Chain A
Amino acid sequence: MRKAVDYGARPWQQTHWDARAAANFVCGGMGCGLVVAAALSGAEGVARVAPVVAGLALVASGLIAVFFEIGRPLRAVNVLFNPRTSWMSREALVAPLLVAAALAGATGRAPFLALAALLALVYAYCQGRMLAAAKGIPAWRAPLVPVLLVATGIAEGFGLWHVVAAFTGARAPWLAVAFGALLIARIVVYRRYRQGLGHALHRDAVAALDRAGRVLLWGGTLAPLALVALAAVLPGGPWLAAAGGLAAAAAGARLKATLVLRAGQNQGFAIAHLPVRGVRT
Chain B
Amino acid sequence: MTRWAMVADLRRCVGCQTCTAACKHANATPPGVQWRRVLDMEVGEYPDVKRAFVPVGCQHCDDPPCMDVCPTTATKKRDDGIVTIDYDLCIGCAYCSVACPYQARFKTPRAAFAYGGEPAPHEAARHDPARIAVATKCTFCVERIDRGTAEGRTPGVDPEATPACVNACISQALAFGDLDDPSSNVSQLLRHNRHFRMHEELGTGPRFYYLWDRD
By a beta-carbon cutoff of 8 Å, the part of chain A in contact with chain B is 4-5, 7-9, 14, 16-17, 66, 69-73, 75-76, 78-82, 85-89, 92, 130, 133-137, 140, 264, 266-267, 269-277, 279-281
A267 to B74, CA, bound (A): 25
Nearest CB of B to A190, in Å = 21
A90 to B80, CA, bound (A): 29
**A79 and B65 in contact, given A134-B99, A266-B103 (Cβ under 8 angstroms):** no
Apart from A82-B70, A136-B100, list 8 A-B contacts with CB within 8 A: A8-B39, A71-B93, A71-B94, A78-B90, A80-B71, A85-B69, A271-B41, A273-B212
Using CB atoms, name the residue of chain B closest to A9. B41
Q: Looking at the complex, which of B119-127, B141-149, B193-201 is the stretch in contact with chain A?
A: B193-201
A266 to B52, CA, bound (A): 21
**A271 and B95 in contact, given A9-B41, A86-B70, A135-B101 (Cβ under 8 angstroms):** no
Query: Which residues of the partner chain B approach A269 to less than 8 Å between Cβ atoms?
Result: 39, 41, 54, 56, 102-103, 198
Let me know if B156 is at the binding interface, CB within 8 A: no
Whether the Cβ atoms of B101 and A275 lie closer than 8 Å is no
Query: Which residues of the partner chain A approach B132 to less than 8 Å between Cβ atoms?
Result: 71
Query: Which residues of the partner chain B approach A267 to less than 8 Å between Cβ atoms?
Result: 101, 199
**A136 and B65 in contact, given A9-B39, A72-B134, A275-B213 (Cβ under 8 angstroms):** yes
Whether the Cβ atoms of A16 and B107 lie closer than 8 Å is yes
Whether the Cβ atoms of A78 and B89 lie closer than 8 Å is yes
Query: Which residues of the partner chain A approach B94 to less than 8 Å between Cβ atoms?
Result: 16-17, 69-71
A135 to B11, CA, bound (A): 29
A273 to B8, CA, bound (A): 13
Whether the Cβ atoms of B92 and A71 lie closer than 8 Å is yes
Whether the Cβ atoms of B71 and A89 lie closer than 8 Å is yes
**A136 and B39 in contact, given A72-B92, A81-B73, A271-B54 (Cβ under 8 angstroms):** no
Whether the Cβ atoms of A275 and B52 lie closer than 8 Å is yes
Query: Which residues of the partner chain A approach B11 to less than 8 Å between Cβ atoms?
Result: 275-277, 279-280
Nearest CB of A to B173, in Å = 9
Let me know if B68 is at the binding interface, CB within 8 A: yes
**A7 and B72 in contact, given A136-B103, A273-B194 (Cβ under 8 angstroms):** no
A8 to B103, CA, bound (A): 11
**A281 and B193 in contact, given A136-B98, A137-B98, A271-B210 (Cβ under 8 angstroms):** yes
Q: List 20 A-B contacts (CB under 8 A).
A: A4-B32, A9-B41, A16-B94, A17-B94, A69-B93, A71-B132, A71-B133, A88-B71, A88-B95, A130-B95, A134-B98, A135-B65, A136-B65, A136-B103, A269-B54, A271-B198, A271-B210, A274-B10, A277-B11, A280-B12
Whether the Cβ atoms of B91 and A133 lie closer than 8 Å is no
Using CB atoms, name the residue of chain A closest to B67. A85
Interchain residue pairs A-B with the least CB separation, the first 6: A71-B92, A71-B133, A275-B10, A16-B94, A88-B71, A78-B72
Whether the Cβ atoms of B71 and A79 lie closer than 8 Å is yes
Using CB atoms, name the residue of chain A closest to B192. A281
Nearest CB of B to A12, in Å = 9
Nearest CB of A to B98, in Å = 4
Using CB atoms, name the residue of chain B closest to A6. B103
Query: Which residues of the partner chain A approach B37 to less than 8 Å between Cβ atoms?
Result: 7
Query: Which residues of the partner chain A approach B200 to less than 8 Å between Cβ atoms?
Result: 272
Whether the Cβ atoms of B91 and A75 lie closer than 8 Å is yes
Let me know if B202 is at the binding interface, CB within 8 A: yes
Nearest CB of A to B143, in Å = 23
Using CB atoms, name the residue of chain B closest to A10. B41
Whether the Cβ atoms of B107 and A79 lie closer than 8 Å is no
Nearest CB of A to B202, in Å = 6
Whether the Cβ atoms of B92 and A70 lie closer than 8 Å is yes
Whether the Cβ atoms of B93 and A79 lie closer than 8 Å is yes
Whether the Cβ atoms of A87 and B100 lie closer than 8 Å is no
Whether the Cβ atoms of A81 and B89 lie closer than 8 Å is yes
**Residue of A69, A70, A73, A130 with highest tally of chain B CB at under 10 A:** A70
A26 to B154, CA, bound (A): 52
**A133 and B68 in contact, given A271-B10, A274-B50, A279-B11 (Cβ under 8 angstroms):** yes
A129 to B107, CA, bound (A): 23
Nearest CB of B to A197, in Å = 16
Query: Which residues of the partner chain A approach B74 to less than 8 Å between Cβ atoms?
Result: 78
A133 to B64, CA, bound (A): 11
A50 to B189, CA, bound (A): 67
